[in-house]
């Protein structure tokens, strides 16, 4: 039986925050979920108005959502559901196995309804600061929200026994460093601004990055663009090659430089005169509300130190992070991490001692370094996912 019931602040009402709230409540805690926007679902809330053609400032620094209009899931729906609430096709919804983004939002909204979570969520309430109380075991959460009956915002503070951070990591774009780009006359965008292909009609577009966004967006744009050139650091070919099945799409090695005359030169020596460079180069972890009390820092996109990507050893278990890992099956991972956090907070599961956790983190980083992995790959689990999170 749980021995402790805590009041817990959950930051964010995306998939991670919703399932964290459910797990915390199941364990007997009292969660309060802070969500800065006006609805639940996080990433899966589509923002049509972010159409790249309309954006006066294409190098955006932050967006709530980065879905393009035609985005379908890159995982089959069978892998996307929470363990006891499968993502099954309803009679009126999008019944495809890889459904469109609106279906995922519907799923998350019905998850919130089914587990009666909406009442736990404080919408349009942004957490602006999280600091540790002098007692060392509780956290002061400062938040900003719209004042009732006015457009003005007001701030307030509350003290919680624990904080679970579920603020997502797909809103702060990371841009590739391209030598010479300041003098290059074309337009630069990040995938976060991409919605529809039409603005790229007849243009020559260089897409940096061959991850899910880079490949999806390239294919989307290729239907209307004159040419699409994909630049990939993983390209094995020493020369540029036309991609099979596409009349107007090429794969290149990385970009070497961009030039004043409008050309983009690749490492393999090939060059194209381009109108647009689209950065499909991922996102940065960002926790603007955290003070030094949290004892973690972000360096080269590595959040450190974190025991098993969840707990900062110095302040565990009263502060935790859900959903940091990349290259994973996200929803079930969020659920298992949340289950772990909730159980550790109640005292049902035990963490190792602080020193043991620190040693584990150090050994983990040494293993990655020995393999030659840059720090920015710290949270990429890939095939380590199951082994890393399976309870012993």
Give yes or no for residue 196 binding ligand FAD (CB under 6 A): no
* Ramachandran angles phi, psi of 142, nearest 5°: -100, 135
Stretch that binds ligand FAD, among 165-173, 182-190, 225-233, 348-356 (CB under 6 A): 165-173
| Contact pattern for ligand FAD over residues 225 through 264, marking x by CB under 6 A | ----------------------------------------
Q: Is 17 near ligand FAD (CB under 6 A)?
A: yes
* Stretch touching ligand FAD by CB under 6 A, among 31-39, 148-156, 342-350, 364-372: 31-39
- Residue 101 beta carbon to ligand FAD: minimum distance, rounded to whole angstroms: 8
Q: Is 13 a binder of ligand FAD (CB under 6 A)?
A: yes
Binding to ligand FAD by residue 204, rule CB under 6 A? no
> Residue 211 and residue 120: Cα distance in Å, rounded?
35
> Which 305-344 residues touch ligand FAD, going by CB under 6 A?
323, 330-331
Please work out, in degrees rounded to the nearest 5, the angle formed at the alpha carbon of residue 90 by the alpha carbons of 98 and 327.
30
Size of the site for ligand FAD (CB under 6 A): 32
Which one, 97 or 354, has the nearer CB to ligand FAD? 97
Stretch that binds ligand FAD, among 6-14, 48-56, 87-95, 312-320 (CB under 6 A): 6-14
Residue number, 166 or 222, with CB nearest to ligand FAD = 166
Instruction: Verify binding: residue 285, ligand FAD, rule CB under 6 A.
Output: no
* Closest distance to ligand FAD from the beta carbon of 353 (Å): 29
> With binding defined as CB under 6 A, does residue 109 bind ligand FAD?
no
**Measured from the CB atom, is 82 or 307 closer to ligand FAD?**
82
- Cβ 114 to ligand FAD shortest distance, Å: 17
Contact 126, 33 (CB under 8 A): no
Q: Residue 105 interacts with ligand FAD (CB under 6 A)?
A: no
Q: Spell out, one character per residue from 40 to 79, where the chain touches ligand FAD: x when CB under 6 A holds, - when not.
A: --xxx-------------------x-xx-----xxx----
Rounded CA separation 127/294 (Å): 15
Instruction: Name the residue among 117, 102, 123, 126 with its Cα closest to residue 16.
Output: 117
Nearer to ligand FAD, 63 or 271 (CB): 63
Among 8, 10, 32, 127, binds ligand FAD (CB under 6 A): 127
166 near ligand FAD, rule: CB under 6 A: yes
**In Å, how far are 84, 104, 110, 334 from 81, measured between CA atoms?**
8, 9, 12, 11
Q: Which stretch binds ligand FAD (CB under 6 A): 15-23, 149-157, 200-208, 236-244?
A: 15-23
Minimum distance from residue 11 beta carbon to ligand FAD (Å): 5
Residues 87, 95: Cα–Cα separation, whole Å:
10
Question: Using an 8 Å Cβ cutoff, are 264 and 255 in contact?
Answer: yes
What strands lie across the sheet with 271-273, from one edge to the other? 255-258, 263-266, 271-273
Would you count residue 14 as binding ligand FAD (CB under 6 A)?
Answer: yes
Residues that bind ligand FAD (CB under 6 A): 11-17, 34-37, 42-44, 64, 66-67, 73-75, 80, 126-127, 166-168, 170, 213, 289, 323, 330-331
């Amino acid at each position: 039986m749980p021995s402790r019931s805590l009041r817990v602040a959950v930051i964010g009402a995306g998939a991670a925050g919703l399932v964290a709230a459910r797990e915390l409540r199941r364990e007997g805690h009292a969660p309060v979920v802070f969500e800065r926007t006006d609805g639940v679902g996080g990433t899966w809330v589509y923002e049509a108005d972010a159409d790249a053609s309309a954006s006066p400032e294409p190098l955006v620094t932050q967006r709530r959502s980065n879905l393009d209009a035609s985005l379908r899931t890159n995982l089959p729906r069978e892998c996307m559901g929470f363990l006891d609430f499968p993502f099954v096709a309803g009679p009126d919804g999008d019944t495809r196995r890889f459904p469109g983004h609106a279906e995922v939002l519907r799923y998350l909204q019905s998850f919130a309804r089914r587990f009666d979570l909406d009442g736990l969520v404080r919408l349009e309430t942004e957490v602006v600061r999280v600091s540790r109380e002098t007692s060392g075991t509780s956290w002061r959460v400062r938040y900003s929200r719209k004042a009732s009956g006015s457009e003005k915002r007001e701030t307030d503070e509350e003290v919680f026994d624990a904080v679970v951070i579920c603020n997502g990591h797909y809103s702060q774009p990371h841009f590739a460093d391209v030598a010479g780009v300041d003098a290059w006359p074309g337009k630069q965008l990040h995938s976060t601004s991409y919605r529809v292909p039409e603005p790229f009609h007849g243009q020559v577009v260089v897409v940096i990055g061959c991850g899910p966004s880079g490949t999806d967006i390239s294919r989307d744009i290729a239907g209307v663009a004159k040419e699409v050139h994909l630049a990939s650091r993983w390209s094995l070919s020493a020369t540029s090659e036309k991609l099979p099945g596409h009349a107007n799409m090429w794969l290149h090695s990385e970009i070497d430089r961009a030039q004043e005359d409008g050309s983009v030169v690749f490492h393999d020596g090939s060059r194209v005169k381009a109108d647009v460079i689209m950065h499909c180069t991922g996102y940065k972890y960002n926790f603007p509300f955290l003070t030094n009390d949290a004892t973690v820092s972000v360096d080269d996109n590595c959040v450190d130190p974190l025991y098993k990507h969840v707990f900062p050893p110095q302040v565990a278990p009263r502060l935790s992070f859900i959903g940091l890992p990349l290259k994973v099956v996200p929803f079930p991972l969020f659920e298992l991490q949340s289950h772990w956090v909730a159980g550790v907070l109640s005292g049902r599961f035990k963490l190792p001692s602080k020193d043991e956790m620190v040693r584990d983190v150090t050994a983990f980083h040494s293993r990655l370094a020995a393999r030659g992995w840059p720090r920015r790959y710290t949270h990429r689990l890939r095939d380590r996912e199951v082994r890393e999170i399976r309870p012993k």
